[in-house]
Amino acid sequence: FIFDNFFVYIYSCILIKVTCVTSGTSTFDQELSFCSYFMGLKKYRDIYLISPSIEKQKQTFSFSQISDNPERVQYYTGLPDAASVLFLEALLSRFDLKYHSDWTVQMMPLLDQLFLTLIKLKLNFGHEDLSIRFNCSRGTVTNIFTTIVSALYDILYVGMLENNIPSRAKNQTSLPDCFQPFPNCRIVLDCTEVSVCNTERLDTQSHLYSQYKGRTTLKALIGVAPNGVITFVSNLYGGSASDKAITADCGVLQHLQPGDMVIADKGFTIRDILPEGVSLNIPSFLTNGQFTQEEVNNNRKISCARIHVERSIQRLKLFSILHHIPHQLKKNINKILKACVLFWIVLCVYSGCYNIKTT
């Protein structure tokens, strides 16, 4: 209907003007009629063609649209409420951001740049999707995401989590019931894997291929305190790397002191690389056809304690970007992983996941 009337206006304007020209006369009424139709045409152009285009340019997804709904905030960002997002925005605003692409993003407020980054981490929307939602180019999405992730890593991870594994004494102040048999436990270790795309280079693909997952992955060591808090996260290694090789290389052992105990799964045959005075408690291997009663009891206690690290990794995987790292973000994978750990900790603080009393 709109376009029918639009073309009627065009036809009428042309017809009136042609009549004036061919007749050799231009009466006042004819010119007035032409002007009226022309103004009508301009009105239709402004209302139905230009205005929608302008409105479309104005429409963009923003944090203000969801900030008053905690459920939506948590869905899009992984954080519990608007206050936690605003806290991060205030923290970022105190620092001079060095944009990844060497040009500053000025058309989007810092809060929405943070919002875009959190959405990417939590839901792993594609860059094309985010560029449509936030009415910007894909290059701008990449520039924002890489910059904000790097800033959060530098400000929060390096300043708070790196080199900050709690001592045994500190762990004992919040020791869950299932860790009572292991009062000297300093850390519980396990590995997690993140799917990545195949590469064309066979040597690289072999390095990334995980026998356990049956596909190309990246693998990181996660350390969890007895109360369920992630206190250590390594860089990502190729999926073919063994648990022992990662443990030896990632630097976690340098934090351990004589008298500490490490709890881990059977795959962590790391007793020979532990610092002197540090003990290892892993489930017993079946050697004589069946476990002794003592081994059964010890395995049950270890399994009960290890459930903390498994639950922590499960919660960490709520950030969908850790299901599959896009190829274009491979240079920032370690910062992405550690940013997700930071947000996981914030979420746990708010939701009371710490001090879990598992019997």
pLDDT per residue as tens digits for the range 113-153: 999 999 999 999 999 999 999 999 999 999 999 999 999 99
Higher pLDDT, 63 or 203: 63
pLDDT confidence bin for 55, thresholds 50/70/90: very low
Cα–Cα distances (Å) from 152 to 54, 238, 240, 260, in that order, read 35, 25, 29, 31
Between 4-13, 105-114, 192-201, 240-249, the lowest mean confidence (pLDDT) is in: 4-13
Mean pLDDT along residues 240-261? 95
CB 160, CB 276: distance < 8 Å = no
What pLDDT, on a 0 to 100 scale, did the predictor assign at position 56?
A: 47
Torsions phi, psi of 222, nearest 5? -115, 130
198: tokens are 């195949």
Mean pLDDT along residues 106-118? 96
Instruction: Evaluate the CA torsion angle 245, 250, 254, 260 in order and state its sign.
Output: negative
- Give yes or no: residues 73 and 11 share one domain: no
Strand partners, 185: 261
The answer for residues whose C-beta is within 8 angstroms of residue 338's C-beta and 6 or more apart is 153, 157, 161, 233
pLDDT confidence bin for 357, thresholds 50/70/90: very low
- Give yes or no: residues 186 and 130 share one domain: no
Q: How many CA atoms lie within 13 A of 204 on its CB side?
A: 6
- Give yes or no: residues 206 and 146 share one domain: no
Question: Tell me, what amino acid is at 263?
Answer: I
Whether residue 35 has pLDDT greater than 60: no
How high is the mean pLDDT of the chain? 83
Between 17-31, 100-114, 140-154, the lowest mean confidence (pLDDT) is in: 17-31
Rounded to two decimals, the pTM is: 0.78
> From the CB of residue 138, how many other CB atoms can be counted at a distance below 10 Å?
15
Distance between CA atoms of residues 295 and 307, nearest Å = 18
Q: Which residue range(s) make up the domain with 32? A: 2-58
Mean pLDDT along residues 48-67? 67
Torsions phi, psi of 231, nearest 5? -115, -5
Counting every residue, how long is the chain?
359
Residue 356 lies inside a defined structural domain of this protein: no
Which is nearest to 225 in space by CA: 303, 165, 298, 135?
Answer: 165
- Give yes or no: residues 205 and 264 share one domain: yes
- Give yes or no: residues 241 and 121 share one domain: no
- Residue 259: left (phi > 0), alpha (psi -120 to 50), or beta? left
Domain boundary residue, one of 58, 78, 96: 58
What pLDDT, on a 0 to 100 scale, did the predictor assign at position 53?
A: 47
Residue 183 lies inside a defined structural domain of this protein: yes
CB 44, CB 5: distance < 8 Å = yes
Whether residue 271 has pLDDT greater than 90: yes
CB 232, CB 165: distance < 8 Å = yes
Domain boundary residue, one of 42, 58, 74: 58
Query: Treating both helix axes as pointing N-terminal to C-terminal, what angle do 333-351 and 293-316 enclose, rounded to 10 degrees?
Result: 100
Between 50-54, 104-108, 116-120, 206-210, the lowest mean confidence (pLDDT) is in: 50-54
Whether residue 186 has pLDDT greater than 70: yes
What pLDDT, on a 0 to 100 scale, did the predictor assign at position 3?
A: 45
- Give yes or no: residues 177 and 70 share one domain: no
What pLDDT, on a 0 to 100 scale, did the predictor assign at position 356?
A: 41
189: tokens are 């270790």
- Give yes or no: residues 190 and 154 share one domain: no
- Give yes or no: residues 275 and 149 share one domain: no
Residue 13 lies inside a defined structural domain of this protein: yes
What pLDDT, on a 0 to 100 scale, did the predictor assign at position 42?
A: 55
- Give yes or no: residues 157 and 172 share one domain: no
Domain boundary residue, one of 112, 130, 161: 161
Whether residue 22 has pLDDT greater than 90: no
Whether residue 7 has pLDDT greater than 80: no
pLDDT confidence bin for 225, thresholds 50/70/90: very high
Give 157-177 pLDDT, tens digit per residue. 887 777 778 999 999 988 888
What torsion do the CA atoms of 201, 202, 205, 206 make, to the nearest 10 degrees?
-150
Distance between CA atoms of residues 174 and 178, nearest Å = 12
Higher pLDDT, 344 or 235: 235
Strand partners, 262: 187, 280
Mean pLDDT along residues 311-336? 88
Computed on alpha carbons and rounded to an integer, the radius of gyration of the chain in Å comes to 30
What pLDDT, on a 0 to 100 scale, did the predictor assign at position 311?
A: 85
What pLDDT, on a 0 to 100 scale, did the predictor assign at position 6?
A: 52
Residue 359 lies inside a defined structural domain of this protein: no
Structural domains in the chain (count)? 3
Mean pLDDT along residues 51-76? 79
For 13-17, which contacts have Cβ atoms below 8 Å and span 24 or more sequence positions?
13/37, 13/38, 13/41
Residue 80 lies inside a defined structural domain of this protein: yes
Residue 206 lies inside a defined structural domain of this protein: yes
Mean pLDDT along residues 40-62? 57
Whether residue 255 has pLDDT greater than 80: yes
Residue 73 lies inside a defined structural domain of this protein: yes
Residue 357 lies inside a defined structural domain of this protein: no
- Give yes or no: residues 154 and 68 share one domain: yes
Give 77-95 pLDDT, tens digit per residue. 998 899 999 999 999 999 9
CB 105, CB 145: distance < 8 Å = no
- Give yes or no: residues 154 and 268 share one domain: no
- Give yes or no: residues 180 and 230 share one domain: yes
Question: Tell me, what amino acid is at 162?
Answer: E
Higher pLDDT, 202 or 143: 143
pLDDT confidence bin for 1, thresholds 50/70/90: very low
Torsions phi, psi of 74, nearest 5? -70, -35
